[in-house]
Structure formats: C-alpha cells, structure tokens
Structure 1
Amino acid sequence: MLITDDFLPVPVPESLNATYLVPMAGLPTVGTKTAVQRLSGRLAEPVRGLARRMLDSPLMSVDTRPIHEFPELPPDLLTAFGATEAQLARLAAATHLVVVQADYRPGWPPAHEWAARAVAAAVADTVGGDVVDVFGLQFLDPATALRSLPDAQGRIRLVDWVLVPYSSDADGLWFTTKGLRRFGLLELQAQGVPDHLTRAWGAVMTGTARRLLRDWTDGLTGEEVPAFVQLPVLATVTGHDIAVAYGNPEQHGATAPVLLRLELDPATDPEADSFLTLRPPAGFPGPDGRYYATACGTLFTGITPDVRYARSGDAMSHAVATARASLGDIRARFLAGALPPETQLVVKYGLPGEDGPEYVWAGVTSWPTPEQIEGASASDANTDPAVRIGSAVVVEATDVVDWAVLDGTGVREGGWTQAVLDAGERPAPPV
C-alpha cells in the first residue's frame, strides 16, 4: 500500500454486525417471514430483497429470548438518546426480546444494517411495539425505522443512522459521531468547538461524515476487502454534503468548500474507541475554535445558523425597521437578477414559540408575491421540528425582520439585526 502525506491509511474490519431488539410481553404470534411479507408494500428495493435473502441465509439470525437472559439496557443512556417514558415502560413490562442479528462485509450497501432493521421493524409492527437499535441505544417505532431505510432510488438520510452527541470540556465543546462504525469507518471527533456553534457544528460534522463515508465506500468496491482504505488527509466539505446528509439534496446553496484535516487518534485502551479527529489545515494561525467558526460562516453562507431571539432596545428596533422598509427594493432586484454575481439573498424571520419568537435564516429561492417568500432553511429550529437545515420553507413577508446579500466572505448588504447582535448591544433598561 502506498503511504503519502496526502492520505491517511484507515484500517478496515473483516466483518460488521448489526443487532436490533424487539421487546414484547409474551411470545411472538406471527412468524418472522410472515411479518416481513406483510410489509412488502412498505419496503422498497433493495431492502425488501436483502431482508428476504438474509433471512434465508446464515448471515442473519432471529431468536426469541427471555429478557433476563439479555444484558440490561441502561435506561439513563436510552433516555439521553431520546427514549420516552412510554417506551421505557414498555421495556420494563416486557418478558421476552426478539433479537435480530446480521453480519456482512464492509462496503456498500450496508446489507447487515438495512436488512436487520427492516426485519426488526416488521416484527415490532405485528405487536405495535418498539425497535431498539443496540448500536445507537435508540428506540425506534416501526414507522420511523421503516422511513430510515432506503427509498426506491436507494437513498437514505445519514442523520437517521449517525448521531452527533457533544459534551463540555475545559476548552469548549467536544463533538463525536456515533454511527460511522456501522459502516466500518472510525467515528469522528472535534474538540475545542465554541459554545455558540453547537447547532451549526453538529451539521458540519454530519456533512463531513457524509463526505468521508463516500470516500470510504469508494475504497471498498473491490471483490476483496482491503486491510486499509486511504482517506484524504484534507477532507473537503460543502453545503451540498450537509443538505444531502439531511435528506434535502435539492435544497442547498452554492457554498465555498471548507477543508478539515484528519488525524488518526488511536485508543490506548483496547476497550475504548479510536477516532478520526477533525482539525484545521496545517499552518492555520490561532486556536482551532476560530477556524471552526470561520468554517460555519462559510458553509452557512456567512450567517451563523444558531438561534437568536429578539432583544428590545432602540438599536434592534431601528435595525428591524430599516430591513422591513427596504424589502420591496430587494425583492425587485432579486426578481430582476440585479444582485451582484455569485451572491445569495437570505431573510431572517420569526417562528412562534412559548418564550417569544425564534428567529432563523433562510436562503431565498423564489419570491412569487410581495407577501410570500420561498426558500431553504439555513438552520434547525427549536420550535418547529419541520424546519431543518436545507428544508423548504415558505416565509410570510410580515414575519421578516432582516435580510442580507451574502458572498463568499460574508454579509455584503443588509444584515442590520445581525450587526446589532454581533456588536453585543444590550436591551434598554425598563423605565
């Protein structure tokens, strides 16, 4: 194998395993093959064929065991990864577990994961129960599990398979991925991420995972499983990678690429995980966190996609009034194609929330009437689960509080409220 400074040799495991559980009170009353057959109309190819073939092969096993024979699932970790009280109660009341396991070689498609999840969802669907993804320590209802499987074109959303947890340390936030090992690839990590980039950097990690997973599976296309796959030391990530990872390939801006350097961080403890660490390119002056902030600004078209709430005070009120007064003019320029070349128009608007409006940004794709704007969200919203990075949104002009024209370096025009926030203006004291 050729080793150069441009590539990082990453070891390839010989085989991969997927394990899914279906807790139930009593024994299953429907056979596994019958359960899969009942879902035939809800399973697209290639998953339908994979599930049937693997059920008939030694690559998959389906066993029913008394629940006390299986190691206890930690409720605290299940809760941390989204388990509800109802799901935990059903687990506590279960007497048996249907254990679905599958093995397969590294490469694409990940037949072990797709087939095992499909079979477990089919079994859970017959009893109105839950699927437990042992790798991710996540509960999935059957409908959610089925939605995560490939569509008729073989496409998946990577966010349904790879999580991005984070925690605080002395230098900022420590981000990791949890899910790339399903495909044989080491998990990613990044340290020293500034606190205000929580949501943005999670999306960048997901987009980076998508890019590296493509390089990884491209290196596994031969008939023989290689001992190593060479990944580029400098990974190139774009807004398109993020949009595709979130399942919105048609909703992405033409962002400049961002470079992230890969370092192999092998575990010293044989029981611990090794990581691929994301760092700035060699020679970057300053702390890593500064580069991460610049990368987020580039990938999210110059506007940090973190949630910002309204502040009272003269400066903010004046900024909103200025933006709203010029909406008609910027719409006319947008429709006439009169904006500067290689720029993007974005608007900031409010979503209703219990603590007041939540303000997020969206890239404008169409402005058919003065009253309504069509666009693609630049961030995930806290208050509306349907508003996700890259998702299509329709914005009422009356909800707009700011607009900006962005180029590769940031805000070129507009962005008055952002300037107030970035300047750290404080609300006026109450009278």
Structure 2
Amino acid sequence: MLITDDFLPVPVPESLSATYLVPMAGLPKVSAKTAVRGLAGRLAEPVHGLARQMLDSPLMSVDTRPIGEFPELPPDLLTAFGATEEQLGRLAAASHLVVVQAEYRPGWPPAHEWAARAVAAAVAETAGSDVVDVFGLQFLDPATALRSLPDDQGRIRLVDWVLVPYSSDAEGLWFTTKGLRRFGLLELQTQGVPDHLTRAWGAVMTGAARRLLRDWTDGLAGEEVPAFVPLPVLATVTGHDIAVAYGNPEQHGATAPVLLRLELDPATDPEADSFLSLRPPAGHPGPAGRYFAAACATLFTGIQPDVRYARPGDAMSRAIATARGALGDVRARFVAGQLPPQTQLVVKYGLPGDDGPEYVWAGVTSWEAPERIVGASASDAHTDPSVRIGSPVVVETADVVDWALLDASGVIEGGWTQAVLDAGESPPPPP
C-alpha cells in the first residue's frame, strides 16, 4: 500500500462485534429462529437471509440471561439518547434480557450489525418489547429497528446508525460522531464550532461521515483485510453527501464541495477513544469557527438552516408581505417549468413552538395545488423532531413567509426575510 502526505493511514481492527438487548418480563415464549421466520416478506431478502444464516453459524449467539447478570445500563445516558419513560419502565420491570451478539470482519456489508439488529427486532416484536442498541446506548422500538435495515438495493440512512452528539467547551461547541466504530472506522470530532451552527454542523458531520465511510469501505473491498486504509487528508463534503446520509439523495440541489482537513488524534488514555478530527484546510486564515460558518453557507446555498423569530418588526413585516405578494407568480413559473436551469426553489414557513414559531426552509418538489406545497426539508427543526434535512414535508401556502431561488452561488431571487436578518435588524424579543 502506497502512503503519501495526501493520505492518512487509519488502522483496521481485526474483527467487529454488535450487541443488542431485548428486555423481558419472564422467559421468551418464541425462539429467535421462529421470530426471524416471521419477518419473511417484510424485510429485504438479502438481510432476511443474512439473519437466518448468521443464526445458524458460530458468528452469532442468542442467550437469555437474568437481568442481574448483565451490567446495569445507565438510565441518564439512555435518556440523553432519546429513551422514553415507558421504555425505561419496561427495562426496570424486566426479569431477563435476551442478548443478541454477532461478530464479523470489517468491510461492507456490516453483516454483524444488520443481522444482530434484525434478530433482536424480531424477538422484541414477538414479546411486545424494545430493542436496546448497546453500542449507541439507544432504545429502538421494533418497527424503527426494522426500518433502519437495508432495502432491496442495500441502501440505508446513515442517520439511523450514526449519532452526532455535541457539548460546549471554552472554544465553542465540540461535536463527535457515535456509530462509525460499528463499521471499524474511528469516530469523527470537530472542536470550536460556533453556537449558532448547532443543527447545521450536525448535518455537515453526518455528510462527512457518509463520505469517509464510503472511502473506508472501498479500502476494505479486497479479499484480505488490510492493516491500514489510507483516507484522504483533504476530505470533500457536498450537499449530496448530506442528503444521501439522510436518505433523500434525489431531494437536494447540487452544491459546491467543502474541504475539511483530516487529522488523527490518538487517545493518551488507553480507556479513551481516538478520533479523526475535522479541521479547516492548512493555511486557512482566521479562527476555525469562521471557516465552519462559511462551509455551512456553501452547503446550504446561502440559506440559514434554523432562522427563528417570535414577533416581526416593521422591516420583517414588509419583507414577508413582499414575499407573499410574489408567491403566485413564482408558483406559475415553477409549474410551467420556466425557472432558470440548475436552480432550486425553496420556501420558508413557520412551525409552532412554545417560544413562538420556528421558521425553516424546504426545497419545493411539487406545487400542484395552489394552497399546498410538497417538498423536502432543508434543515433540522428544533421544535419538531420529524422535520429533518431531506425529510418530506407538506407546507400550507398560507404558512409561507418567504421564498428564494437558489443556484450554486446562493440566492439569486427572493429571500427578503433573510436579507433583513443578514442586515442585522433582529426582531424584538417576545413580550
């Protein structure tokens, strides 16, 4: 293997393992093999066949143990990763755990993860219980676990397998991924991210994870598992990478690529994790946070992904009125196919929240009825967890407060409310 300064040699583990738990009040009444057979026709056949084969091989074990024999799962961390009170209650009431474990070599497909999650979901479904992903410290209901598995073409949404937690430190926000080690790759981290990029940078990290995971699995495609996989020191991330990671590759316009420098940060504590750090390219002037903000502006084509205000001022009111007044014309041009080539129409609309509406952008994919717009979200919403980048949305035209026409350089038409915000006229706080 040729290693140059353009590539970073990342070590490959000898094998990978997956562990899933199913809490039980009593002993299971249905065997794992019977439960998996019940998924016939509901699970893509490659994965269904893989689960059956792994069950019949020494690569997978399914054991039922008294819950006291298993280390206690930390409820605070489970809650931090989305556990509900009902799920925690079922875990507390469980007398036994069904433990599903699988092992496989690094590479694609990650048979250990797909098969173990499928078996655990099948068992949980028959018992009316939950799946606990030990790696992610995350509860999954059986339907969600099954939906996360590959379709007939082997496609997955990376957001179902990789989380992006963050925390604050003296330099800003510290982002990490949690899930890439399922595939043998080191987790990513970014430090010094400005606070206002919370949701945008989470999406960028997910897109970067998708791009690097593809390079990683390409490097493991041979018959022999190598000791190292060379990853490019300058990684590129595009809007397409983000959209694919969220499962909606056809619903994202083209964007210019963003460059991120990859550095290996080995852990000094043998109990701690090593990371691959994402930094600005060498020689970038100014603080890293400024580069991260520019990267988000490029990847989201100049539109702020999480604009919020509670009560518009005069300038904002005029901007909204101007945008609403031009909606009929832009819809007519969109429906007639008369918008400039290589452009994308986006609209901004309000989602209700406890502190006032949250305004988010969505790319328009269809506008057949004048009163209703079908599109794909261009941002993660804070108030509605179902609204994520690339997720399908239906917007009532009456809720639209702005629209914009984008090309690769940014806004070329519209975007009146954004212009007010960019000019620094922040709306007043709620009374």
TM-score, with normalisation over the residues of structure 2?
A: 0.95
1:79 Cα deviation after fit: 0.8
Task: Report the Cα offset of residue 92 of structure 1.
Answer: 1.1
Task: Give 1:419 shift.
Answer: 2.1
What one-letter code is carried by the residue in structure 2 that aligns with 1:158? L
Deviation at 1:48, TM superposition (A): 0.9
Q: Which residue of 2 aligns with 1:127?
A: 127
Q: Is the 8 A contact 1:307 1:381 kept in 2?
A: no
Paired position in structure 1 for 2:343: 343
Tell me the equivalent position of 2:67. 67
Change (3 A) 1:335 1:30: closer
Q: d(CA) in 2 for partners of 1:321 and 1:45?
A: 53
| Larger deviation, residues 334-343 vs 86-95 | 334-343
- CA–CA separation in structure 2 for the residues paired with 1:83 and 1:117: 17
Where 2:353 maps in the other structure, the secondary structure is coil
SS in 1 for 2:152: coil
RMSD of aligned alpha carbons: 1.9
- The separation in 1 between residues aligned to 2:196 and 2:428, in whole angstroms, is 24
Q: Secondary structure at the match of 1:395?
A: strand
Separation (CA, whole Å) in 1 of partners of 2:85 and 2:395? 35
| 1:381 counterpart residue number | 381
1:228 aligns to what?
A: 228
- Distance in 2 between residues matched to 1:123 and 1:325, nearest whole Å: 56
Query: 1:179: which partner in 2?
Result: 179
Residues 35-46 of structure 1: matches in 2 within 5 Å?
35-46=35-46
Q: Which residue of 2 is the match for residue 103 of structure 1?
A: 103
Residue equivalent to 1:322: 322
Is this contact kept in 1: 2:234–2:262, CA < 8 A?
Answer: yes
Deviation track 1:31-77 (CA, whole Å, cap 9, x = no partner) reads 12111112223221211111111111111111111111111111111
Partner of 2:51: 51
Question: Does the alignment pair 1:28 with 2:11?
Answer: no
The residue aligned with 1:77 is 77
- Partners of 2:57 and 2:78 lie apart in 1 by 31
Task: Provide, for residues 169-190 of structure 1, a one-character-per-residue CA deviation record: whole Å limited to 9, x for no partner.
Answer: 0111000000000000000000
**Count of aligned positions:** 431
Matches within 5 A, 1:21-420: 21-335=21-335, 339-420=339-420
Q: Is the 8 A contact 2:313 2:428 kept in 1?
A: yes
Change (3 A) 1:370 1:5: same
Aligned with 1:62: secondary structure? strand
Q: C-alpha distance in 1, partners of 2:427/2:285?
A: 35
State the secondary structure of the residue aligned to 1:106: coil
Secondary structure, aligned partner of 1:413: strand
Once residues 186 and 291 of structure 2 are traced to their aligned partners in structure 1, the CA distance between those partners, rounded to angstroms, is 23
Superposed displacement of residue 283, structure 1? 1.5
Assess if the C-alpha contact under 8 Å between 1:136 and 1:178 holds in 2: yes
Q: In the aligned structure 2, how far is the partner of 1:71 from the partner of 1:221?
A: 36
Q: Deviation per CA, 1:192-238, whole angstroms, max 9, x where unpaired? A: 11111111110111111111111100110111100000111111111
For 2:153, what is the secondary structure of its paired residue? Answer: coil
Any idea what the Cα deviations from partners look like across 1:106-156, whole Å, max 9, x if unmatched? 000000001111111111112101111100001111111111111122111
Aligned amino acid, residue 237 of structure 2: V
Give the 3 Å change call, closer, same or farther, for CA 370–29 of structure 1 in structure 2. Answer: closer
Asked if 1:11 corresponds to 2:11, the answer is yes
Q: Indicate the larger mover: 372-381 or 209-218.
A: 372-381
**How much does 1:289 deviate?**
0.8
Task: Report the alpha carbon displacement of residue 335 of structure 1 after superposing the two structures with TM.
Answer: 4.7
How far did residue 377 of structure 1 move?
1.4
SS of 2:23's partner is: strand
Counterpart of 2:210 in structure 1: which amino acid? R
Q: 1:112 to 1:288 in 2, by over 3 A?
A: same
Secondary structure, counterpart of 1:309 in structure 2 = coil
Do the aligned partners of residues 413 and 65 (structure 1) sit closer, same or farther apart at CA in structure 2, a change above 3 Å counting? same
Secondary structure of 2:368's counterpart equals strand
**Which deviations, in whole Å up to 9, do the C-alpha atoms of 1:261-306 show, x marking residues without a partner?**
1111111111110101001111111111111111111111210211
Which stretch of structure 1 is more off in the superposition, 393-402 or 314-323? 393-402
Alignment check: 8 A CA contact 1:45 1:154 kept: no
- Cα distance in 2 for partners of 1:406, 1:310 equals 26
SS of residue in 2 equivalent to 1:41: coil
In the alignment, structure 1 segments of 5+ residues that lack a partner are: none
**Using the alignment, how far apart are the partners of 1:371 and 1:96 within structure 2?**
53
Tell me which moved more, 225-234 or 353-362.
353-362
SS at match of 1:40: coil
| CA deviation string 1:79-106 (max 9, x = no partner) | 1111111111111111111111110000
The DSSP-based 3-state class of the residue aligned with 1:297 is helix
**TM-score, normalization by structure 1:** 0.95
Relative to structure 1, the CA distance from residue 428 to residue 387 in structure 2 (aligned partners, 3 Å threshold; closer, same or farther) is: closer
Structure 2 unmatched runs, 5+: none
